[in-house]
Amino acid sequence: MQEVRTRFAPSPTGYLHLGGLRTALYTYLIAKKHDGKFILRIEDTDQEREVPGAIEQIYKSLHQAGLIYDEGPDIGGPYGPYIQSERKDTYLPYALQLVESGDAYPCFCTIEELDARREKATSEGKGWKYDKHCLNIPKEEAKRRMESGESYCIRQNIPTEGMASFEDLLFGYVEAPCDTLDDGVLIKADGLPTYNFANVIDDHLMHISHVTRGTEYLSSAPKYNLLYKALGWEPPKYLHLPVVMKDATRKLSKRHGDPSFEDLLDMGYLKEAIINFIALLGWSPGDDREFFTLDELIQAFHIEGLNKSPAIFNMDKLTWFNSEYIRKMPFEDYLEMASPWFDKALHGTDIDYTYLAKLMQGRTEVFNRIPEMIAFLKEMPEYDISLYNHKRMKSTPETALNALEFALPIVENISPWEEQEIHDSLINSIKEAGLKNGLVLWPLRIALSGLESTPGGAVEIAYLLGKDETIRRVKNAIEKLKN
Identify the three-state secondary structure at position 476: helix
Catalytic residue among 88, 143, 188, 254: 254
Whether 471 and 408 have beta carbons less than 8 Å apart is answered as yes
What phi, psi does 160 have (nearest 5°)? -90, -5
Q: CA-to-CA distance for 39 and 166, rounded, in angstroms?
A: 23
Q: CA-to-CA distance for 299 and 451, rounded, in angstroms?
A: 46
Q: CA-to-CA distance for 387 and 370, rounded, in angstroms?
A: 22
Catalytic, 254? Answer yes
Q: CA-to-CA distance for 105 and 99, rounded, in angstroms?
A: 5
Q: CA-to-CA distance for 411 and 462, rounded, in angstroms?
A: 9
Asked whether the CA dihedral 371, 374, 377, 379 is positive or negative, the reply is positive
| Residue type (1 letter), 185 | V
Element (H or E) spanning 167, and its range? strand 163-168
Q: CA-to-CA distance for 359 and 457, rounded, in angstroms?
A: 10
| In 260-347, alpha helices (H) | 261-267, 271-279, 294-300, 315-327, 331-346
Catalytic annotation, residues: 254
